[in-house]
Amino acid sequence: MKEIKAYIQPFMLQKVTDALHKIHVRGMSMNDIKGFGKEKDEAYPHHSRADMIDFTPKVKIEIACYDEEVEAIVECIKEHAHTGRKGDGKIFVNPVESVVSIRTGETDRDAI
């Protein structure tokens, strides 16, 4: 099992979500976040004091999935979150050691 975390532009969320529904992703979580990276986001002006770090808005998507689904999900996010500008975001794929459903008690593959 894997966990996919994608950091994308907020205005791309609906497009990415619609595309993930089409490939039958069972569920996902999202959070509005702020952050910064080595590339400044071209979509947002950076007018701040010189001693402050500029944080830009992003959306973080989290998806738990089976190993065999990772490639399709990553490609889907990459294709539908792409604008070609700096600040498009990043996708991280991490192993999941264990999953437990709080409601049913099911574990691992059965839990997701």
Structure-block tokens of residue 40: 């400044």
For residue 107, the 8-state DSSP code is B
pLDDT (tens digit per residue) in 19-73? 999 999 999 999 999 988 776 655 555 555 555 567 889 999 999 999 999 999 9
CA 27 to mean position of chain CA atoms: 12
Of the listed ranges 63-67, 93-97, 107-111, the least confidently predicted one is 107-111
Predicted pLDDT at 49? 53
Q: Rounded to whole angstroms, how far apart are CA atoms 66 and 54?
A: 36
CB atoms within 10 A of CB 49: 6
Q: Does domain 2-111 have CATH number 3.30.70.120?
A: yes
Q: Tell me which DSSP letter residue 109 carries.
A: G
